[in-house]
Amino acid sequence: MAALLFSLLALFLCHHPSTVSARCGTIDQGSTLQLLHVNSPCSPFRPKSLSWENSVLQMQAGDKSRLQYLSSLVVPIASGRTITQNPTYIVRVNIGTPPQQLLVALDTSNDAAWIPCTGCVGCSSSTFDPAKSSTFKPLRCGSPQCSQVPNPSCGGASCGFNTTYGGSSISAGLVQDSIALATDSISGYTFGCVQKSTGSSFPAQGLLGLGRGPLSLMSQSTSLYQSTFSYCLPGYKSTSFAGSLTLGPHSQPVRIKTTQLLRNPRRSSLYYVNLVAIRVGGRIVDIPPSAFAFDPNTGAGTIFDSGTVFTILVKPAYEAVRDEVRRRMRGAAVSSLGGFDTCYNVAISVPTITFMFTGMNVTLAQDNFVIRSSAGSTSCLAMAAAAEGSVNSGLNVIASFQQQNHRILIDGPNSKLGVAREACT
Ligand SMILES: *[C@@H]1O[C@H](CO)[C@@H](O)[C@H](O)[C@H]1NC(C)=O
Ligand SMILES: *[C@@H]1O[C@H](CO)[C@@H](O)[C@H](O)[C@H]1NC(C)=O
């Protein structure tokens, strides 16, 4: 079992450090930032001592808590709880004057940015030093932004707060400073300057939130970016580093399939779409419409998320997909591996899976739904069912493995989400 996991992961997170180091310093240009996988050779955050098998098990465990976290995002949105446990992709940002470069996790389901600040107790990574920035400013208690954080504490004059997420407690101050993204600069950007973190859930690198709430980068830069961005997530095996995050309406794909973006008041940070059916190969599988129902009262529906690794479907939807895959395997012996319950020692004979949204079909090739061991001897359907009974609540999550090598466009002004194939490998 361990050996199998090892070889599966060896391929999954394959590294060729000697051939890629020259590209690690790529300069971000215009409004486009290079997007890196957190475990890629250029990432300082890639696990050094963690074994591959532990790393896959961790990712799967991370998806579970991620779903719990996404499900917990109910009104009133507590921005302080918007911390994910398993950031997967990172970008470079420059904060302060003169600029201090940080690599932060991109999170499309978070509003706030959380930056580890100098002196932070329990932050393990590189930090931002407010004392070295001439444009740094703590926000006062009476500021409008202070009312957007949960339980602001106003012991002193400045706005601070304590919050918990998963196993971590965090103390942060609400502050403002300039942020530069590629060659764009935004002054007076509001973020949380983390001063203390206990527990293991807080991501070392901090977060950049591209969600839809008031403290999000997108909400703080509407004149510059007009609530529009797109990204292409490179494959986990990538060594070419062509992943990118493009901010603003310029340089966005013109020809792209789109579907309506929905706003769910129950979970207002998240990017909802209307998933209506799933096709496995040529067959639309039998899934009760209730499995996909968008419900503003419960928060149920389907979202695109960059922080979950493997797509999670509510049980009846997952089981219908899984059963059709198994049916097409005509009795080949099925096994499980970690969180995957549909694995084979032979090739999976399903060429495509199509997610059918209102007005947009997205057909995925095997690279987006089959995970294979390096020896090629084991292949698993790389999706999972949501655990039943929890707070969960009918949330389907289209996750990063399924989004790889596609451009995902968020077009706020037109309320559209677009998907186009793009080899950013
Ligand atoms: C956060 O909690 C610590 C104790 O753990 C306390 O000393 C501090 O004043 C609190 N800060 C805020 C902003 O509530
Ligand atoms: C999606 O595919 C189905 C057939 O499986 C087709 O009937 C439908 O028109 C397609 N939708 C779009 C928007 O292309």
pLDDT higher for 289 or 46? 289
Ligand 1 contacts (CB < 6 A) are 153, 155, 160-162, 171
Q: Which helix (H) or strand (E) holds 113?
A: none
Confidence of residue 29 (pLDDT cuts 50, 70, 90): confident
360 CA: nearest ligand 2 atom? 13
pLDDT higher for 242 or 401? 401
**Atom 9 in ligand 1: residue holding the nearest Cα:** 155
For residue 362, report the distance from its CA to the centre of ligand 2, in Å: 10
The answer, yes or no, to whether any atom of ligand 2 lies below 6 A from the CB of 280, is no
**Atom 1 in ligand 2: residue holding the nearest Cα:** 361
Domains 3-247 and 257-421 in one fold: yes
For residue 361, report the distance from its CA to the centre of ligand 2, in Å: 6
Least confident span in 86-90, 193-197, 260-264: 86-90
Residue indicated by tokens 């998907």: 419
- pLDDT attached to residue 246: 96
Confidence of residue 207 (pLDDT cuts 50, 70, 90): confident
- pLDDT attached to residue 307: 80
361 CA: nearest ligand 2 atom? 1
356 CA: nearest ligand 2 atom? 1
For range 312-328, the mean pLDDT: 96
Mean pLDDT of the chain: 82
Task: Please report how many Cα atoms fall inside a 13 Å half-sphere around the Cα of residue 397, on the Cβ side.
Answer: 32
Whether pLDDT at 416 is above 70:
yes
Q: Which residues pair with 164 in a beta bridge?
A: 169
- pLDDT attached to residue 350: 95
Distance from C-alpha of 33 to C-alpha of 242, rounded to nearest angstrom:
10
- pLDDT attached to residue 65: 63
Task: Please report how many Cα atoms fall inside a 13 Å half-sphere around the Cα of residue 349, on the Cβ side.
Answer: 9
Is the CATH number of domain 3-247 2.40.70.10? yes
Highest mean pLDDT pick, 58-67, 169-178, 199-208, 348-357:
348-357
Q: How many CB atoms lie within 10 A of CB 17?
A: 12
Residue among 63, 111, 177, 305 flagged as catalytic: 305
Whether pLDDT at 4 is above 50:
no
Q: Where do the DSSP E strands lie in 122-167?
A: 137-138, 152-153, 160-165
Q: How far apart, in Å, do the first and last CA atoms of the chain sit?
A: 29
* CA dihedral for 288, 289, 294, 295, sign (positive or negative): negative
**Atom 6 in ligand 2: residue holding the nearest Cα:** 361
211, 317, 402 from 348: Cα distances, Å: 36, 19, 17
For residue 202, report the distance from its CA to the centre of ligand 1, in Å: 17
Whether pLDDT at 72 is above 80:
no
Confidence of residue 148 (pLDDT cuts 50, 70, 90): confident
Distance from C-alpha of 70 to C-alpha of 290, rounded to nearest angstrom:
20
Is 107 considered catalytic here?
yes
Distance from C-alpha of 425 to C-alpha of 148, rounded to nearest angstrom:
38
Q: Give the residue among 203, 199, 168, 184 at the shortest CA–CA distance from 43.
A: 203
- pLDDT attached to residue 133: 98
Own/partner contacts of 129-134, CB < 8 Å, gap of 24 or more, are 129/96, 129/100, 130/96, 130/175, 130/177, 130/193, 132/96, 132/98, 132/100, 133/95, 133/96, 133/97, 133/98, 133/100, 133/177, 133/178, 134/96, 134/97
Domain boundaries, the chain: 3-247, 257-421
Question: β-strands 89-95, 184-198: how paired?
Answer: unpaired
Instruction: Tell me which of 3.40.50.720, 1.10.10.10, 2.40.70.10, 3.40.50.10610 is the CATH number of domain 257-421.
Output: 2.40.70.10
Per-residue model confidence as pLDDT tens digits over 222-234: 999 999 999 999 8
For a mutational test of ligand 1's pocket, the pick from 140, 171, 175, i.e. the residue with the most ligand atoms closer than 8 A to its C-beta, is: 171
For residue 109, report the distance from its CA to the centre of ligand 2, in Å: 28
Distance from C-alpha of 113 to C-alpha of 261, rounded to nearest angstrom:
23
Which bound ligand lies closest to the C-alpha atom of 151?
1
For residue 150, report the distance from its CA to the centre of ligand 1, in Å: 13
- pLDDT attached to residue 22: 46
- pLDDT attached to residue 154: 80
- pLDDT attached to residue 62: 66
* Paired tokens of 147: 């009312």
Pair 281, 328: CB distance under 8 Å: yes
Q: Which helix (H) or strand (E) holds 297?
A: none
Question: β-strands 395-398, 228-232: how paired?
Answer: unpaired
Which residues have C-beta within 8 Å of that of residue 387, sequence separation ≥ 6?
A: 64, 67
**19-49 burial, b for 16+ CB within 10 Å, e for fewer?**
ebeeeeeeebeebbbbbbbbbbbbbebbeee
